[in-house]
């Protein structure tokens, strides 16, 4: 049995986050915009300050004490992150500025080298623009084409015809592990196995999964796995590309410059070994170190415990939202199949109006297309509102959010939609 976070632990966790201690518009902040970016615990902020105040130096270059310490801490962060996602080696863990950069790296380096006219890239209808636009660009340059896995009415993937969708021409399957809009958690292993049977490479977007659940890249069976540090208590401009070693070895570098070289001659260059071949220039040192500390923090609390806590909060929110005939919730109702976020519409009230109304009560939610326009077009919507939870959120905060929705529905005169769940 997995333990839940008890009230004392939750209070202690909340105390770790300086941002959460404030009032917004005179009300205690309720931060429900964690899918956009999470808040940072004091130890992460302190670790980054410590780097700048005590051992600021470049990595892998100097032989003085500060440079050696900076290099040690930077590489220690890589080691911790590799362990966190169960990567088979540190060399297969590459620091990037985040998910977007990691996907672009794969698109430019692997896809442009390996794809040709008529090849297929299989996506889903729930991908973030970061896992969409780089593939459009690859298609423009190579003549490859995009296909998509359809959705079931409950927001899960339609996988019954997966074997037909993945053909001999499919070279890449790129899928999110958890949707940032529907919350759907996808059966990545099953998709990876089907893709590998046809010889396709699999990229998994873990931007919304790694912060919220235990992730084991080897158990998922993927070839590439990408995520962002800022959504998991880490700094902005930190992120990871994990890749299978043999594939990374065969890929050309993404960018050229310092660090990614072994030798530079008058007319040619010998590239560095992994992972440095893909880390051109001075990296985001403080950010990498901060991400390592964020991983320590999450590990100490326990990813399984965090997942359970979010399941509990999400179930509570979904149950409360059932009382609103005006509200449609998107994505699966079953918390086993979804992560800790709830995307909804309130009658025909514009989601931006709901978010502005919520802000007056100190509640931070997101409204818009959430960088998933193809999904919103599929749903026939221009925008939705999204409340997304994390380890520091509480049932009391959900109550504050629900009370705000009761006020909003009266204020805007929202009418029932006749669609309580799903789409």
Cβ 180 to ligand PLP, closest distance in Å? 3
Q: Rounded distance, CA 406 to CA 4, Å?
A: 29
Beta bridge partners of 271: 261
Q: Quick count: other Cβ atoms within 10 Å of Cβ 184? A: 25
Q: Rounded distance, CA 198 to CA 195, Å?
A: 5
Q: Is 343 in the site for ligand PLP (CB under 6 A)?
A: no
Dihedral, CA atoms, 39, 45, 46, 51, nearest 10 degrees?
150
Q: Is 132 in the site for ligand PLP (CB under 6 A)?
A: no
Q: Is 205 in the site for ligand PLP (CB under 6 A)?
A: yes
**DSSP H helices in 85-171:** 99-105, 112-114, 133-142, 162-165
Catalytic entry in 222, 320, 371, 415? 371
CA angle 246, 247, 253 (to 5 degrees): 115
x/- mask, ligand PLP, residues 352-381, rule CB under 6 A, reads -------------------x----------
Rank residues 71 and 156 by Cβ distance to ligand PLP and give the closer one: 156
Span interacting with ligand PLP, options 186-194, 202-210, 260-268, 329-337, rule CB under 6 A: 202-210
For 165-304, strand residue ranges (E) read 170-176, 201-205, 224-228, 239-243, 261-264, 269-271
Span interacting with ligand PLP, options 65-73, 98-106, 192-200, 212-220, rule CB under 6 A: 98-106
Cβ 404 to ligand PLP, closest distance in Å? 24
Q: Is 33 in the site for ligand PLP (CB under 6 A)?
A: no
Cβ 176 to ligand PLP, closest distance in Å? 5
Q: Rounded distance, CA 358 to CA 246, Å?
A: 49
Q: Quick count: other Cβ atoms within 10 Å of Cβ 153? A: 10
Beta bridge partners of 124: 149
Q: Given candidates 92, 100, 170, 345, which one binds ligand PLP under the rule CB under 6 A?
A: 100
Cβ 283 to ligand PLP, closest distance in Å? 16
Q: Rounded distance, CA 172 to CA 175, Å?
A: 10
Q: Given candidates 128, 307, 338, 369, which one binds ligand PLP under the rule CB under 6 A?
A: 128
Residue 137 tokens, joined: 């660009």
Cβ 209 to ligand PLP, closest distance in Å? 8
**DSSP H helices in 122-281:** 133-142, 162-165, 188-197, 217-220, 245-250
Give DSSP secondary structure letters for 318-366: HHHHTT-TTEEEES-S-TTSB-SEEEEEETT--HHHHHHHHHHTTEE-E
Q: Is 208 in the site for ligand PLP (CB under 6 A)?
A: yes
Cβ 118 to ligand PLP, closest distance in Å? 28
Strand arrangement, sheet containing 384-388? 327-330, 341-346, 384-388, 366-368
271: phi > 0 → left, psi -120 to 50 → alpha, else beta; which? Answer: beta
Q: Is 400 in the site for ligand PLP (CB under 6 A)?
A: no
Q: Quick count: other Cβ atoms within 10 Å of Cβ 76? A: 14
Q: Is 207 in the site for ligand PLP (CB under 6 A)?
A: yes
Is-contact 207 176, C-beta < 8 A? yes
Number of residues that bind ligand PLP (CB under 6 A): 15
Span interacting with ligand PLP, options 11-19, 205-213, 275-283, 382-390, rule CB under 6 A: 205-213
Q: Is 119 in the site for ligand PLP (CB under 6 A)?
A: no
Let me know if 415 is a catalytic residue: no
Per-residue CA distances from 387 to 10, 39, 149, 198 (Å): 19, 15, 26, 38
Q: Given candidates 41, 98, 155, 351, which one binds ligand PLP under the rule CB under 6 A?
A: 98
Q: Is 176 in the site for ligand PLP (CB under 6 A)?
A: yes
Cβ 228 to ligand PLP, closest distance in Å? 3
Is-contact 191 203, C-beta < 8 A? no
Rank residues 185 and 317 by Cβ distance to ligand PLP and give the closer one: 185
Rank residues 208 and 328 by Cβ distance to ligand PLP and give the closer one: 208
Q: Is 131 in the site for ligand PLP (CB under 6 A)?
A: yes
Cβ 401 to ligand PLP, closest distance in Å? 20
Rank residues 192 and 226 by Cβ distance to ligand PLP and give the closer one: 226
Cβ 165 to ligand PLP, closest distance in Å? 21
Q: Is 184 in the site for ligand PLP (CB under 6 A)?
A: no
Per-residue CA distances from 20 to 38, 192, 242 (Å): 11, 39, 32
Rank residues 171 and 230 by Cβ distance to ligand PLP and give the closer one: 230
Residues in touch with ligand PLP (CB under 6 A): 35, 98-100, 128, 130-131, 176, 180, 205, 207-208, 228, 230, 371
Q: Return the active site residues.
A: 371
């Amino acid at each position: 049995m997995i333990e839940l976070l008890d009230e004392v632990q939750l209070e202690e966790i909340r105390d770790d986050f300086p941002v959460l201690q404030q009032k917004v518009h005179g009300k205690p902040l309720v931060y429900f915009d964690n899918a956009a970016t999470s808040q940072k615990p004091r130890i992460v902020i302190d670790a980054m300050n410590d780097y700048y105040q005590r051992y600021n130096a470049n990595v892998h270059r100097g032989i003085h004490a500060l440079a050696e310490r900076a290099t040690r801490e930077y590489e220690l962060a890589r080691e911790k992150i590799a362990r966190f996602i169960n990567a088979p080696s540190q060399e297969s863990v590459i620091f990037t500025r985040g998910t977007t950069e990691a996907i672009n790296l794969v698109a430019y380096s692997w896809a442009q080298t390996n794809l040709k006219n008529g090849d297929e890239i299989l996506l889903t209808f729930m991908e973030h623009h970061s896992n969409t636009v780089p593939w459009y660009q690859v298609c423009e340059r190579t003549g490859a084409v995009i296909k998509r896995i359809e959705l079931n009415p409950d927001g899960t993937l339609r996988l019954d015809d997966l074997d037909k969708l993945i053909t001999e021409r499919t070279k890449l399957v790129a899928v999110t592990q958890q949707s940032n809009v529907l919350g759907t958690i996808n059966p990545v292993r099953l998709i990876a196995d089907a893709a590998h049977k046809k010889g396709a490479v699999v990229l998994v977007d873990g931007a919304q999964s790694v912060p919220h659940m235990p992730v084991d890249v080897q158990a998922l069976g993927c070839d590439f796995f990408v995520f962002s540090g800022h959504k998991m208590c880490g700094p902005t401009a930190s992120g990871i590309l994990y890749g299978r070693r043999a594939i990374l070895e065969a890929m050309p570098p993404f960018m050229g410059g310092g660090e990614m070289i072994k030798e530079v001659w008058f007319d040619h260059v010998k590239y560095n070994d992994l992972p440095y071949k893909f880390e051109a220039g001075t990296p985001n040192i403080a950010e990498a170190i901060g991400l390592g500390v964020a991983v320590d923090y999450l590990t100490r609390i326990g990813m399984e415990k965090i997942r359970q806590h979010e399941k509990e909060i999400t179930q509570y929110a979904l149950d409360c939202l059932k009382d609103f005939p005006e509200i449609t919730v998107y994505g699966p109702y079953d918390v086993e199949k979804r992560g800790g976020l709830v995307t909804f519409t309130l009658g025909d009230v514009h989601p931006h109006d709901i978010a502005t109304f919520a802000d007056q009560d100190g509640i931070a939610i997101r409204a818009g297309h959430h960088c998933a326009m193809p999904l919103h077009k599929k749903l026939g919507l221009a925008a939705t509102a999204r409340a997304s939870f994390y380890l520091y959120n509480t049932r009391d905060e959900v109550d504050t959010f629900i009370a705000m929705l009761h006020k909003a529905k009266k204020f805007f005169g929202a009418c029932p939609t006749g669609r309580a769940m799903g789409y």
